[in-house]
Amino acid sequence: MPVYNGERYIAKSIEKVSLYMDKLGIPYEIIVVDDGSTDNTYEEAIANSRDGVRVVRYPINKGKGYAFLYGALRSEGERIILFDSDLDIPLYQISILLKIIERKNADIVITNKWHPRSMTVASPLRKFMSYTFNMLVKLLTGLKIRDTQTGAKAFKRHALLEIAKKLYVKRYAFDVELLLVAQQLGYKIVEIPSLRPIVLTSKFRIKEIFRMALELLSI
């Protein structure tokens, strides 16, 4: 779980994810990666860590992509899940990701927030910006994935480690490059809906769209 300046919610997120994984009854580790926060995120995470939770950090903010790989490369499991620490995506989706990656023999499984069957609640502006960005991705890269920015993805370890060797972008367009490299390497990617409500409360800033676009051109 990458996190940046999340002192307000990281303790509750750790608690919720831990309790959910305990209910699943399977071995797990939760790696919280503090991406150079300037608030008390690290202290809050350490104070609320428990069995099965590891908290790591580095001093300078380097972006979600860097944070995810930093944690993934320090993990031990054969299945690795990227899950946004603000928990916009329902925790129920974790079990679905794990089931589908086995059932479909997939290398990567993605929660598509904009799937026709997904129950996503978002402002018209957020929907428009996401649609515009995804169309831009398709135009510039040919990537066939409809929701590259989703905060709930599952990977088979061997696939993620192979993909990571070829990645250059660590910030705004990280997800796009990761999935594009996966597609180029022939890995099987499956998109699934969220059958429980997703309420998108985080801001999707216009300036980030431009930064993503610039990074897309460098891929």
Ordered per-residue pLDDT tens for the chain, 219 residues: 999 999 999 999 999 999 999 999 999 999 999 999 999 999 999 999 999 999 999 999 999 999 999 999 999 999 999 999 999 899 999 999 999 999 999 999 999 987 878 777 777 877 787 778 888 888 888 898 988 888 899 999 999 999 999 998 777 789 999 999 999 999 999 999 987 767 766 555 666 666 666 666 666
Cα-trace Rg, the chain: 16
> Two tokens at 197?
């409500």
Are 89 and 184 in a shared domain? yes
How many CA atoms does the CB half-sphere of 185 hold within 13 Å? 21
Are 14 and 97 in a shared domain? no
> Two tokens at 72?
């993934």
Residue 190: per-residue pLDDT: 98
Are 188 and 97 in a shared domain? yes
Are 141 and 120 in a shared domain? yes
Nearest to 107 by CA among 145, 154, 75, 166: 154
Are 68 and 138 in a shared domain? no
**Residue 84 bridge partners (DSSP):** none
Are 141 and 35 in a shared domain? no
pLDDT digits over 143-182, tens only? Answer: 989 888 888 999 999 999 999 999 987 777 899 999 999 9
Picking from 60, 77, 94, the residue at the C-terminal end of a domain is: 77
Please answer whether residues 35 and 3 qualify as being in contact, where contact means their C-beta atoms are separated by less than 8 angstroms.
Answer: yes
Residue 207: per-residue pLDDT: 62
Q: How many domains in the chain?
A: 2
Nearest to 28 by CA among 85, 89, 94: 94
Distance of CA 207 to the CA centre of its chain: 20
Residue 117: per-residue pLDDT: 81
> Two tokens at 138?
């398709």
Residue 37: per-residue pLDDT: 98
Residue 159: per-residue pLDDT: 98
Picking from 77, 101, 135, the residue at the C-terminal end of a domain is: 77
Domain boundaries, position 45: 1-77
Are 116 and 145 in a shared domain? yes
Are 128 and 59 in a shared domain? no
Picking from 77, 95, 128, the residue at the C-terminal end of a domain is: 77
Are 116 and 163 in a shared domain? yes
Are 99 and 198 in a shared domain? yes
Cα pseudo-dihedral 87, 88, 90, 94, rounded to 10: -60
CB within 8 Å of 86: residues ≥ 6 apart: 6, 9, 13, 151, 201, 202
pLDDT digits over 3-24, tens only? Answer: 999 999 999 999 999 999 999 9
Are 65 and 92 in a shared domain? no
Are 138 and 212 in a shared domain? yes
Residue 192: per-residue pLDDT: 95
According to DSSP, the β-strands at 53-58 and 30-35 are parallel
